[in-house]
Structure 1
Amino acid sequence: MWEPGGAVTAADLRPDIPHPARMYDYYLGGKDNFPADRAAAEKALAANPEFRSTARANRGFLTRAVRRVAGLGIDQFLDIGTGIPTAGNTHEIARAADPGARVVYVDNDPIVLSHARALMAGAGRGHTTVIQADLRRPSELLDAVRAADLLDLSRPVGLVLAAVLHFLRDEDQPYRVVATLLDALPAGSHLVLSHGTADFIPAEVRDRVTGVYDKATAPLVGRSRAEVRAFFDGLDLLDPGVVTVPLWQPDTDPAPGADRVSMYGAVARKP
């Protein structure tokens, strides 16, 4: 297992088994992936060619959502399941609004952590750190965040769960996971969340795609709009509520079909 400051071995990376983070990197045009990841990603794209555009739409949502939350005065962020670093990372967006913004990234994948180490070698690393923890064990994750001693959890935090909860099965209790994380944050904190859905694709396409991910290191569980909305129970949703990611406070007029992109997103404030 990789530990901060430790080396990443080939066994840790498991290059022979497709990994969702590396597949996502491939969708975005990145190069931090292995042949098994590319082969699986191509199978997913063959089943649903919109995977690539959906991944890019999600990155756009992340940019707008973090920028909005930072503009509301939130100067510290907890980004869980960050994925392989690429352009438009949370700390870059937040610091455009506040150069002193603090960001803790959390992931449990060795290749993500390896790249995050390189990211931390850059300027301003004192306000950004990365820790290894598993979203499925939120209490342990929060203990690790506290031990990192970078965020002040008595002050509002921007909790970012972008395109990660659909890798949790129902038996992983994703709603309990989110509730546990939010319970640890004070009023005024914001939740930025996006989640894949099969609402707009035929059942046979859904089954082909989930079959690809069943052979990877994590499943893909699409949830309906109502199921995604349930993650925000008890929170105050920002306009326009739970919508497909291109429709969340867009910077430009959305392209045709934006209302059928297979990813929902929303931002909400903890009262």
Structure 2
Amino acid sequence: MLRALRAPGTPADPRRRPRRPGPRAGGWGPYRLIGELGKGGQGKVYLALTPQGQKVAIKVLHEHVGSDRVVRERFLREVEATRRVATFSTARVLDVNITEDQAYVVSEYVEGVSLEQLVRDRGPRDEDGLTRLALATAGALAAIHRAGIVHRDFKPANVLIGADGPRVIDFGIARALDQVTATSGKIMGTPAYMSPEQLAGEAIGTETDVFSWAATMLFAASGRAAFGEDTIPAILNRVINHHPDLSPMPPSLRALAAACLDKLPANRPTASDIMLRIVH
């Protein structure tokens, strides 16, 4: 259940000193903390247990998220929308808590490693493995898009490889955090996997996820970021003005990846189209 612990509009006690978010008495709310899974630009991710003993992943967001009542309400609405997504190939959002000094998102725990870590440790995927990955993640994106959500931060770190196959995570979180950072001038996302229109600050739709999907598949096929990993200005220039080398992709996926990486959003296939082209 999504909730805020203090009623919207209730003024904060001026005598109370702001507190940095952190685990309270060994956990967050009813969740008992048992380990740390990682950290990134949005916050830290912890492994925790529900009162029933179920493992969950808790993403604890940076403290500025809950500093404004309007932002808190928008954030809750955006995350609530993720509940419409079909659960296959995704990690479900289970709970959200956001107040002035505490903000976290609880999701289904997927035991496994990220695609990014898998490729770093074991090397690029072979043709069969890449094709299975491409089909599963395109299916996840199709489900996300069908629910009216744009992922906005699709990248190798947001694809978890579990025992039952790939799972896409953090869909909808980037959109929710955009509400927080809209006036800060910060880029929300990972530049090497963002579309040209996203980098340009234009209105974006599902086409941006398709571009990011293809860049992610190219990483899985080559072990290298499609647009480089050096300076941000250099990466931005390549995303906007250059086409990546697609030779590491198997011939069966090369033309599809090229179409997905088209600089013009209208020229890219949909996630559903990607699935059909892979199976045919």
Task: Report the TM-score, using the length of structure 2 for normalisation.
Answer: 0.30
TM-score (norm 1): 0.30
The structure that has the greater radius of gyration is 2
